[in-house]
A and B are shown apart, each in its own frame.
Chain A
């Protein structure tokens, strides 16, 4: 297990390093630059050139890259080009904001989707299953921003039950009740999206397992239905769900641009788009790194969870026992 972990982590570091190079090249290949804010009569090409020089953008790309990597290795994410703000100080609060929003939606949707999906697999095409199906299709089909605007129109502008947008009311930062009220609508929107896929997966995965011979054997032996479901079927059915959850982990810090925009949530998704438009190379690189790390961690966690849920999976042993 330890050996396996070390190998995986080494691989991951290499992958992340390659990702930084590719991203760096791609980002710089895009036309425009941080000094091109807008067409204003005062911003002549000479002025823009001078600004680029003052910001260090005139240096050759490999030099810029080397500079960036050596900063990163010392834990320094660098500064924004346009106004020399320390990126670290900007990044962490945003990650926290996004985690609060996405994490809540994720947890809410898991808590609903997985039990419900499992239950529905035992009562296929029942009322509950049909309802769940309907909700899933709704979740897949409805554009999040549209659903968000709909909720705002009704529950905020019309009924005035919830705040329209933002993370806090002015002057009430740190007030958890206030934060909760601001979370309700965006979390509803986001969890519907998660819910749709998790519920479908949970149900489908359970159905597949319930059809297996060993389940029939268990039932034939006279094992209590509850035991069949929870002891025999569930553990096997969880594997694909864990994969899915692991794959979604990066979204928890990556954020959801459209929902963040509609609800004016100061999170990562919105920031990433803003920074991409203004060509803030260092910020884009920093965000890429954070998300790549999350992808790697998500996959690793999923792998480790497999071995806990499914005794057949033994990590690290080459050609582990086939079941």
Chain B
């Protein structure tokens, strides 16, 4: 009896361990069909060719590329896109009027709908766009001026609820001249309008009978079968929450055809699992490697990493509305106070340690190395505690008994808000707290759920200071809607209630000429003024590193360009995959 029981116990333990590892034995047979398909991804197989491969044997047609993302699309209809996931997928399936070159200039590429750059009238008010004449929708209909006119008019119609409305708010009329020609007339000279022409078009013949308010429910943009497109790839499948499948369109009109036969978009729960999948070879292209993982990914020989900051910058935003402070005493009123804060922050340290180098300091709201970058003209605030203390003293701040500065009985203590769960901002907020403590300013970092924060604090302009960033839709330097006092809350995005009459005028001057040299001069002046007056502390341009697996290939001139809006897929039509 006793013997029997012992047997039972051993059997149980063995079976438990057996179940934990069942796969081991069955695996060898079950997995063989996979082995061939994945053989190139095995680290041993890819070691040698990884570095020697580029362009040596030239592009090949066919194959599948797997992109990863961490959020699903909402709607691919170019009229309604408001999130990056939808934007990413849409740019593969919808052709745009124009494209951007690597330095951010508007150009007509072979895959653009327009045949040439627009003709701009002498007075800068009319733009005439000529379309190519062989361009077609996936259902075989020709793409004509009617489609362009319909797209812009529907975008402007407030009932549509299109995020494009502000992009086209300077448009007086848009008219069809003939089937291939569209004329835009503006209400005023507005130079950034050129970038508004980098825009995907929707088919008039599909949507014309849908009321603007019903477009979101029409299935166009949410149902692949109902979404007539115009790009090199067409939308084949959407598995909600899992991903997209796009297939090269055999009837694509362009002279340059895509090499890659199929694009698969896979959704992962977060960026860390995306990176795991890249390392495993399940994914070929990850556009956002978290900074904490960059080093580990770089260590893997078969993965190439592109770490160049993107078109976005972080800022420490001040609130100038005294109502947000105790005793209606605005802590950030003094220009010298703001300059002192700029000197007190170790921004380079943040770039090196928190961003792991994937970033560049900024002193004005223009991305470094773009044509509008004021360069030396903008004031650079070096990390200097002594200068900071001196400026604060000059502005009337005196240290109190608790070592915190005070002026007229008001302690220099403020709350710095950021969104919960963003580990970069969490770390940066902690450094800001530490840096400012050294000059006698008390900071209380506060993390708030993103949606709640935006609704209750940011949009209505109810905060003391925030840590947030702006992502730039296009390379144009105009940012009037963020910094001009014309755009106070609730309607505008100048949520810090910042007012500077000189700057208000300069923003207007900046877009009121189409002459690029004149514009450059204005933005230089603007960069000098804004970096002196500091509505924000401009922190740094930052980005996410791109990682690509060994199968993905491109020629040097077609490599991803992270500094452009959708630049991670720059010239993807010319990329190819090897198996």
Residues of A within 8 A of B (CB): 30-33, 36-48, 50-51, 53-55, 79, 82-85, 90, 94, 108, 112, 115-116, 119, 122-123, 126-128, 131, 135, 149, 152, 155-157, 160-166, 169-170, 177-178, 180-181, 184-185, 188, 225, 260-262, 264, 266, 270-271, 274, 277, 279
Docked-complex contact B13 and A131, CB < 8 angstroms:
yes
Docked-complex contact A274 and B241, CB < 8 angstroms:
yes
Complex interface: chain A residues within 8 A of B216 (CB): 51, 54-55, 83-84
Complex interface: chain B residues within 8 A of A165 (CB): 268, 273, 276-277, 282
Taking the closest CB of chain A, its distance from the CB of B189, in whole angstroms, is 21
Complex interface: chain A residues within 8 A of B74 (CB): 37, 82-83
Taking the closest CB of chain B, its distance from the CB of A69, in whole angstroms, is 21
Q: Give the contact-size bracket for chain B.
A: 35 or more
* Contacts of B296-317 to chain A: CB distance below 8 A: none
**CA A84 – CA B213 in complex, angstroms?**
13
Assuming the contacts A36-B454, A169-B34, asked whether A43 and B82 have C-beta atoms less than 8 A apart, the reply is yes
Docked-complex contact A85 and B24, CB < 8 angstroms:
no
Docked-complex contact B241 and A266, CB < 8 angstroms:
yes
**CA A225 – CA B2 in complex, angstroms?**
12
Complex interface: chain A residues within 8 A of B219 (CB): 84
Docked-complex contact A184 and B23, CB < 8 angstroms:
yes
Docked-complex contact B241 and A270, CB < 8 angstroms:
yes
Docked-complex contact B9 and A42, CB < 8 angstroms:
no
Docked-complex contact A164 and B277, CB < 8 angstroms:
yes
Closest to B16 in A: A112
- A38, A83, A127, A163: residue with the most chain B Cβ atoms closer than 10 Å: A83
**CA A51 – CA B217 in complex, angstroms?**
11
B269 at the interface (CB under 8 A from A): yes
Closest to A127 in B: B9
**CA A149 – CA B242 in complex, angstroms?**
20
Q: Which of B83, B213, B279, B450 contacts A157 (CB 8 A)?
A: B279
Complex interface: chain A residues within 8 A of B449 (CB): 31-32
Docked-complex contact A279 and B451, CB < 8 angstroms:
yes
Docked-complex contact A53 and B161, CB < 8 angstroms:
yes
Complex interface: chain A residues within 8 A of B5 (CB): 119, 122-123
B162 at the interface (CB under 8 A from A): yes
* Contacts of B192-248 to chain A: CB distance below 8 A: 213-214, 216-217, 219, 221-222, 239-242
A-B contact pairs, 6 of them (CB 8 A): A37-B83, A119-B12, A131-B13, A161-B23, A164-B282, A184-B22
Complex interface: chain A residues within 8 A of B214 (CB): 54
**CA A152 – CA B66 in complex, angstroms?**
20
Complex interface: chain A residues within 8 A of B240 (CB): 85, 90
Closest to B165 in A: A47
Complex interface: chain B residues within 8 A of A156 (CB): 280
Complex interface: chain B residues within 8 A of A41 (CB): 166, 470, 473, 481-482, 493
Assuming the contacts A36-B455, A128-B12, A274-B241, asked whether A50 and B82 have C-beta atoms less than 8 A apart, the reply is no
Assuming the contacts A37-B83, A181-B31, asked whether A42 and B167 have C-beta atoms less than 8 A apart, the reply is yes
B72 at the interface (CB under 8 A from A): yes
Docked-complex contact B166 and A44, CB < 8 angstroms:
yes
Docked-complex contact B213 and A261, CB < 8 angstroms:
no
Assuming the contacts A45-B490, A165-B276, A165-B282, asked whether A116 and B16 have C-beta atoms less than 8 A apart, the reply is yes
Complex interface: chain B residues within 8 A of A45 (CB): 459, 490-491
**CA A94 – CA B370 in complex, angstroms?**
46
Assuming the contacts A53-B213, A188-B20, asked whether A177 and B9 have C-beta atoms less than 8 A apart, the reply is no
Taking the closest CB of chain A, its distance from the CB of B7, in whole angstroms, is 11
Closest to A135 in B: B16
Complex interface: chain B residues within 8 A of A50 (CB): 158-161
Docked-complex contact B167 and A119, CB < 8 angstroms:
no
B141 at the interface (CB under 8 A from A): no
Docked-complex contact B19 and A112, CB < 8 angstroms:
yes
Taking the closest CB of chain B, its distance from the CB of A36, in whole angstroms, is 6
Known A270-B241, A271-B241; further 8 A-B contacts with Cβ < 8 A: A31-B452, A31-B456, A32-B449, A79-B217, A85-B240, A90-B240, A262-B273, A266-B242
Taking the closest CB of chain A, its distance from the CB of B437, in whole angstroms, is 29
**CA A131 – CA B16 in complex, angstroms?**
11
Complex interface: chain A residues within 8 A of B159 (CB): 50, 54
Complex interface: chain B residues within 8 A of A33 (CB): 451, 455
Q: Which of B20, B31, B269, B455 contacts A261 (CB 8 A)?
A: B269
B75 at the interface (CB under 8 A from A): yes
**CA A155 – CA B19 in complex, angstroms?**
14
B382 at the interface (CB under 8 A from A): no
**CA A45 – CA B161 in complex, angstroms?**
10
Assuming the contacts A116-B16, A161-B24, A162-B23, asked whether A264 and B161 have C-beta atoms less than 8 A apart, the reply is no
Taking the closest CB of chain A, its distance from the CB of B384, in whole angstroms, is 33
Closest to B282 in A: A164
**CA A157 – CA B473 in complex, angstroms?**
38
**CA A90 – CA B159 in complex, angstroms?**
28
Complex interface: chain B residues within 8 A of A30 (CB): 451-452
**CA A178 – CA B34 in complex, angstroms?**
10
B52 at the interface (CB under 8 A from A): no
Taking the closest CB of chain B, its distance from the CB of A255, in whole angstroms, is 12
Complex interface: chain A residues within 8 A of B84 (CB): 38
Docked-complex contact A166 and B13, CB < 8 angstroms:
no
Q: Which of A53, A112, A128 contacts B15 (CB 8 A)?
A: A112
**CA A223 – CA B241 in complex, angstroms?**
59
Closest to A260 in B: B269
Docked-complex contact B455 and A32, CB < 8 angstroms:
yes
Complex interface: chain B residues within 8 A of A178 (CB): 30
Q: Which of B162, B468, B493 contacts A47 (CB 8 A)?
A: B162
**CA A256 – CA B165 in complex, angstroms?**
41
Taking the closest CB of chain A, its distance from the CB of B72, in whole angstroms, is 7
